[in-house]
Structure 1
Amino acid sequence: MAEYEIRDVSLAPSGHEKIEWVRSHMPLLYGLEEEFRKTKPFKGVKISLSVHLEAKTAYLCLVLAAGGAQMYVTGSNVLSTQDDVAAALVDDGLSVFAYHGATQEEYNHHIERTLSQKPNIIIDDGGDLVGMLHTARPDLAEEVWGGCEETTTGVIRLKAMDDEGVLKFPMVAVNDARCKHLFDNRYGTGQSVWDSIMRNTNLIIAGKTVVVVGYGWCGRGIAMRADALGAQVIVTEVDPVKAIEARMDGYSVMPMKQAAPKGDIFVSATGCCKTITVDDMLLMKDQAILTNAGHFNCEVDMDDLEKKAVSKKEVRHNIMGYTLSNGRRVDVIGEGRLVNIATADGHPAEIMDMSFAVQALSALYIKEHHNELKPHVIHVTDQIDDAVARRKLAAWGTEIDELTDEQKKYLHSWNL
């Protein structure tokens, strides 16, 4: 029998409509749903999932449930859960523990409830499920075969655990798959971040100076779209190679202390902490806009800002204005949380179609191979990456060439 802890089951109709919309734009997951419905590869398998709980995630949950999985679902951010979508999943018989605007204590409670059924497979986004299994509730890790991690921040945490030798089960670094980070992180983040900033501020981007903190795949996408919208782009980096790449891509590169007085809009996308500090803010223009595109709300140093701001007030829905000691104001979107999902709808459906197809097939890989796998961070197999790419091309009706036997032999030869 399904369990749930959500706001209001009566919200389900609007949630179903959202899910149906993304289903019609996610052909890879739709194909997997049809296959899983027939083969039931997850029959009897318990899956606990913590991913931003909106329509695309909900559809992934329904695809896995169609394959026979018993799903236990929560969100991965207190502002990204959409209550109507959570209600729709409950209406479809899934166990859901999440609601929008939960306190940190409530959020932790939901994580624990999601783990309480002793899942066989974990699907995580940011590492909170795995973190609780290794700290507060190690007793719940006994039945876990392994799992999948969706995002850069979570993979960073997992690799740290792996390096220390404390990881209790294998975790697939879904984020590192080519069909994930090359498209989701770059094109998905690039589009959805600016969707959120524009819908929440109702300001033009053209002519403004945008400071992008970090030039990984997310930063590349954010900078690319800002440039296309007519902004001047500055990149700050700590990696000299990425800094060279940003410069060669046509952007200005400088330290934050030099960038701070120049920027109109700041977007951090690093997976690290305190990339924009109060000292940086004191150098900024009046009403500079601050956003975070990393998983946790520590990239913009919100804790220190809350302590040192002279005053604060909501200046627009989802935007809090903080007056600093020098009399200038900085405007923070979405409490410094993941801007594209906390205050908008996240990545486009077609992008998440690829990422979640990798998730579903990686979960299946864990189910079929967990007895052979060691408790380490493992790569998505080339076979899964290739299969997802070919499904995507087929959905577009696009064909590509194939190597001939002679070419294959040539590529695997050394004595030419």
Structure 2
Amino acid sequence: MQKISVKAADLMPFKVGYDVKDISLADRGKLRVEWARQDMPVLSGIADRFRREKPLQGLRLAACLHVTTETAVLMATLKAGGAQVVVCASNPLSTQDDVAAYLARDEEIPTFAIKGEDNETYYQHIQAALDIKPNITMDDGADLVFTLHSTRQELLPEVFGGTEETTTGVIRLKAMAAQGVLRYPVIAVNDSQTKYMFDNRYGTGQSTVDGILRATNRLLAGSVVVVAGYGWCGRGFAMRARGAGARVIITEVNPLKGLEAIMDGFQVLPMTEAAPQGDIFCTLTGDINVIRQEHFLAMKDGAIACNSGHFNVELDIPGLEAVTVGRRHIREFVEEFTLTNGKRVNILGDGRLINLAAAEGHPSVVMDMSFANQSLAAEYISKNHDKFEKKVYMLPTELDMEIARLKLQSMLVDIDTLTEEQVKYLSSFEMGT
């Protein structure tokens, strides 16, 4: 569990309803949000229903998410549903400052997020979001939940449920539940098929490539790309890197995923063997110290390393610093480390999520489904929280399927329906060959 480095008693309360870089950026943010909303018809449809039905009326909702254009559409949807909403950043480098300004000024949603904020400010913003005394939490990485459980425990009786967006956050929450310390039920939005099969795979795949190329302007074709982790995010990035002409190597600790990568046509190696071969490295595991000091020392001169997992702990930056004799920022999102062996290693975006640090995150079309899950999960848990134990739950399959149906409908795609004969066959055992 990530350690909280600041205490609630050390934090000064915000005297205004937001803390953003520059409120005058709101006009630009408004245009970008309008552009994103055009590609989010499912969430827009949910927002229309929420305005009519007000399923979240009177509820207080604190959200700790990447403050991007798509998140702005989600926040507006929740507000349309009647919720009192506040949002803070779930990563110091993922905020789009013009969008944060738009949320604060035009949507009148208290927003606490500045791209590049330091660690202390990051947790000040989380504390500011918690000052709403939430009934529902909406998290991306579980920092909001963990802060609530560690430094704001007096607020826990007010909270009856939450949602979690990411694999990393679900891992943390399940660990809390297993240890008996999770104090309220949480819906693992990440585990919905309309989230992980599309957001994690296609969203992460494209946006990670986008972030790497924006940061470096390097050619993927002919490069050796090492992908650490072959979960849904790793699969998506590996697929896109290969599609751009790279030779892709997968590293894994799970034998089933390693076998799947082999069957998908990738080379699979331990990181110790992949390190001397790679030109570009990307971690997508949700674990700590995936690329360590010994791996950095073994890399080629000029190798590039980045992370597209939630936290920057996947790269052992302290271990790298211990064998560094010189460092400089050579491009906006590229820091060059000269090592004791004379070779140079380049770290992108401080090891933070490269798809958000150097680019704009996932395309709106996939976040449409992810945030449809978030909005329906908030509605579902508000209506059913008294039936839950203090555990991590999935959104019901019927809601998952409804989101998929609505997405296909928005794409003008029709599918077949079962005939009465087919329904009977699938529900019986008498009919054979």
Counterpart secondary structure, 1:313 = strand
1:279 to partner: Cα distance:
0.7
Matched residue, 2:225: 210
Matched residue, 2:257: 242
Matched residue, 1:52: 66
The answer to whether the aligner puts 1:127 opposite 2:128 as a matched pair is no
The answer to whether the aligner puts 1:19 opposite 2:36 as a matched pair is no
1:414 to partner: Cα distance:
3.3
Cα separation, 1, equivalents of 2:311 and 2:194:
23
Matched residue, 2:3: none
The answer to whether the aligner puts 1:3 opposite 2:17 as a matched pair is yes
The answer to whether the aligner puts 1:39 opposite 2:53 as a matched pair is yes
Cα separation, 2, equivalents of 1:339 and 1:414:
52
1:68 to partner: Cα distance:
1.2
The answer to whether the aligner puts 1:178 opposite 2:211 as a matched pair is no
Matched residue, 1:142: 157
The answer to whether the aligner puts 1:160 opposite 2:169 as a matched pair is no
CA displacement, residues 16-69 of structure 1 (integer Å, 9 cap, x when unaligned): 111111011111111111111121111111110011001111110011111111
1:306 to partner: Cα distance:
2.5
Which among 212, 218, 238 is matched to residue 223 of structure 1? 238
Over the aligned positions, Cα root-mean-square deviation in angstroms equals 1.2
Matched residue, 2:389: 374
Cα separation, 2, equivalents of 1:307 and 1:135:
31
Which among 325, 333, 344 is matched to residue 310 of structure 1? 325
Cα separation, 2, equivalents of 1:287 and 1:144:
49
Cα separation, 1, equivalents of 2:379 and 2:318:
40
Cα separation, 2, equivalents of 1:134 and 1:101:
26
Matched residue, 1:388: 403
The code of the aligned residue for 1:101 comes to G
Which among 256, 269, 276 is matched to residue 254 of structure 1? 269
Contact kept in structure 1, 2:296 and 2:320, CA below 8 Å:
no
The code of the aligned residue for 2:84 comes to Q
1:214 to partner: Cα distance:
0.5
The code of the aligned residue for 1:299 comes to E
Cα separation, 2, equivalents of 1:300 and 1:335:
10
Cα separation, 2, equivalents of 1:309 and 1:412:
65
1:403 to partner: Cα distance:
1.6
Counterpart secondary structure, 1:276 = coil
Aligned CA distance change for structure 1 residues 55 and 74 (closer, same or farther; 3 Å): same
Counterpart secondary structure, 1:123 = strand
The code of the aligned residue for 2:401 comes to D
Which among 297, 300, 305 is matched to residue 282 of structure 1? 297
Seq. identity, %: 50
Cα separation, 2, equivalents of 1:115 and 1:412:
49
Matched residue, 2:116: 101
CA displacement, residues 203-239 of structure 1 (integer Å, 9 cap, x when unaligned): 1100000000010000000100010000001000000
Cα separation, 1, equivalents of 2:320 and 2:231:
26
Contact kept in structure 2, 1:77 and 1:342, CA below 8 Å:
no
Q: TM-score, normalised by structure 1?
A: 0.98
Counterpart secondary structure, 1:323 = strand
Count of residue pairs brought into register by the alignment: 416
Counterpart secondary structure, 2:34 = helix
Counterpart secondary structure, 1:291 = strand
Counterpart secondary structure, 1:282 = helix
The answer to whether the aligner puts 1:63 opposite 2:73 as a matched pair is no
1:401 to partner: Cα distance:
1.0
Instruction: Structure 1: state its 5+ residue gaps.
Output: none
Contact kept in structure 2, 1:189 and 1:222, CA below 8 Å:
yes
Cα separation, 2, equivalents of 1:415 and 1:163:
43
Contact kept in structure 1, 2:326 and 2:339, CA below 8 Å:
yes
Cα separation, 2, equivalents of 1:125 and 1:307:
31
1:2 to partner: Cα distance:
7.7
Contact kept in structure 1, 2:283 and 2:309, CA below 8 Å:
yes
Cα separation, 1, equivalents of 2:84 and 2:375:
14
Cα separation, 2, equivalents of 1:85 and 1:353:
17
Contact kept in structure 2, 1:2 and 1:90, CA below 8 Å:
no
1:412 to partner: Cα distance:
2.5
Q: TM-score, normalised by structure 2?
A: 0.94
1:410 to partner: Cα distance:
2.2
The answer to whether the aligner puts 1:328 opposite 2:346 as a matched pair is no
Cα separation, 2, equivalents of 1:187 and 1:6:
30
Cα separation, 2, equivalents of 1:310 and 1:354:
46
1:147 to partner: Cα distance:
0.8
Cα separation, 2, equivalents of 1:273 and 1:30:
37
CA displacement, residues 66-90 of structure 1 (integer Å, 9 cap, x when unaligned): 1111111001000111111111011
The answer to whether the aligner puts 1:84 opposite 2:98 as a matched pair is yes
Counterpart secondary structure, 2:42 = helix
Cα separation, 1, equivalents of 2:203 and 2:186:
23
Contact kept in structure 1, 2:40 and 2:365, CA below 8 Å:
yes
